[in-house]
Chain A
Amino acid sequence: MNSKPLDRHALGQALTRLANASTSDLMRSPQRTLALSAARRIGLTGAPGAGKSTLAGYLALHRAPGRRLGILAIDPSSPRSGGAILGDRIRMDELKGVSQLYIRSIGSRSASDGLSDNLPEMLDLMDEFEFNEVLLETVGVGQVEYAARVQVDTLVLLLLPESGDVVQAMKAGIMEMADIFVINKADLPGAQKMASDIKRISSLARHDEGSWRPSVLLASSSKPESIAALSEEIDRHQAWLDLNDRRKVLRQQRARYRLRRLIERRAGEVIARQDPSFFEAPMVQQLDLALQQIGRKS
């Protein structure tokens, strides 16, 4: 367990500063050294209304004893005003004992990949504050927002019974990315059929030798044993990662994502501030000028 108690005030302030950090701030900030005892990262993703917040709350309460566990919950920012209503925690705060957990709400800001601006840096900060485990709840996603894949070690995809034809499951995208499928609200009709359909599709998919075979579970917040089963499956996947030396690969993928997001955001800012006349110049010239400004540190 941790050497000193969590300074929630300092963490709260530091995360707010980080959420507001510009690309210039990030470019100036020193490279963090990778923490030796980094937190396990577990992602929960799925469509809006799939029950991510509620399940995150129950799962966190189940896994918290003996650990420093935090929840980062992302909600969409308005593309029009930049503001957001961050309401994921309403569901969690209603659970008994949840006040011991650290829950943080995050606006997606300019990110449209299911995550938020500066999320890699926020996850690093959780490591610095000596968390053992972080649950990351993404924005409600469709089929292609799978950036969470590389940010977490274990990705759990929540699906609802009768939420779509089996063909949906055959489509590419997020369905290929999950480590664990959870048919949530499994007390609704159609859950069992959905689970067997996903299992069948998943077994037909091509798997490289030695790769993880995604598991399919049923869950319901009214059934504590289903939460315990999900938690065990997460532990099994975490052990598999260690056994197969997968964490190094994940770290490399995270470093790529971080640089790509920084450049994308920077490019967006630079392009947004140009006058209309800028775009009348020949494309090569536009590109040259834009790239110069993207690389500038202030």
Chain B
Amino acid sequence: MNEIKTQRPLAGKRILVGKPGLDGHDIGAKIVALTLRDAGAEVIYTGLRRTPQQIAQVAVDEGVDAVGLSILSGSHKELVADVLAQLRALTAGNIKVFVGGTIPRADQALLREMGVAAVFTADMPLDVVVAELAHQLS
């Protein structure tokens, strides 16, 4: 069984990949979604331009273990704060939130202080992203 575990570090996990806000670039979100699928996760992809409220409600309905937000618009502070607040309002503050995209280094620590589990940037190898998620969701 060990062999299966190392090949599929995210087996049985449900992860929502969402794009809040107005930026229309989702190739990054799609690559991450496919990577998570190949690591064994069930990925619910929301499509473009969802409101934080929609993303939080879908996360609750789908019973996910984690939410990944892809944000390239520069509005990450506002959007992330909003998603976290909406999740708490739906008594789902226990769902881990990850953020990926163009996040300046100075803002990464800020997002983590707000309650984000980890921040991923484009220069990170995808293996590192999978390993971090597997660690945080185990």
**A and B from one assembly?**
yes
A interface residue numbers (CB < 8 A to B): 8-9, 11-16, 19-20, 77-78, 80-87, 89-90, 93-94, 99, 102-105, 107
12 A-B residue pairings within 8 Å (CB atoms): A9-B60, A9-B92, A16-B62, A77-B42, A85-B45, A87-B45, A89-B44, A90-B45, A90-B47, A93-B50, A103-B61, A105-B44
Using A78-B37, A83-B43, A94-B47 as known contacts, say yes or no to A89 and B90 having CB atoms under 8 A apart: no
Residues of A within 8 A of B12 (CB): 20
Contact B11 A82 (CB under 8 A): yes
Partner pick for A83 among B8, B57, B61, CB 8 A cutoff? B8
Q: What's the Cα separation between A84 and B62 when bound, in Å? A: 14
Q: How far is the CB of B134 from chain A (nearest CB, A)?
A: 13
Using A78-B38, A83-B42, A84-B37 as known contacts, say yes or no to A9 and B62 having CB atoms under 8 A apart: no
B66 close to A (CB within 8 Å): no
Q: How far is the CB of A274 from chain B (nearest CB, A)?
A: 13
Residues of B within 8 A of A14 (CB): 63
Contact A81 B38 (CB under 8 A): yes
Using A16-B14, A93-B58 as known contacts, say yes or no to A83 and B46 having CB atoms under 8 A apart: no
Contact A85 B46 (CB under 8 A): no
B36 close to A (CB within 8 Å): yes
Residue of B whose beta carbon sits closest to that of A83:
B37
Partner pick for A104 among B11, B38, B46, B62, CB 8 A cutoff? B62
Q: How far is the CB of A131 from chain B (nearest CB, A)?
A: 13
Q: What's the Cα separation between A34 and B13 when bound, in Å? A: 30
Using A15-B63, A16-B63 as known contacts, say yes or no to A99 and B54 having CB atoms under 8 A apart: yes
Most buried by B among A12, A78, A107: A12
Q: How far is the CB of B26 from chain A (nearest CB, A)?
A: 11
Rank and list the top 6 A-B pairs by shortest CB-CB distance, nearest first. A16-B63, A12-B63, A83-B37, A90-B47, A107-B42, A83-B40
Residues of A within 8 A of B33 (CB): 85
B10 close to A (CB within 8 Å): yes
Q: How far is the CB of B56 from chain A (nearest CB, A)?
A: 11
Residues of B within 8 A of A105 (CB): 42, 44, 62
Residues of B within 8 A of A8 (CB): 57, 60-61, 90
B138 close to A (CB within 8 Å): no
Q: How far is the CB of B44 from chain A (nearest CB, A)?
A: 5
In the complex, chain B residues 70-108 whose Cβ is within 8 Å of any chain A Cβ: 90-92
Residue of A whose beta carbon sits closest to that of B12:
A20
Most buried by B among A19, A20, A104, A105: A105
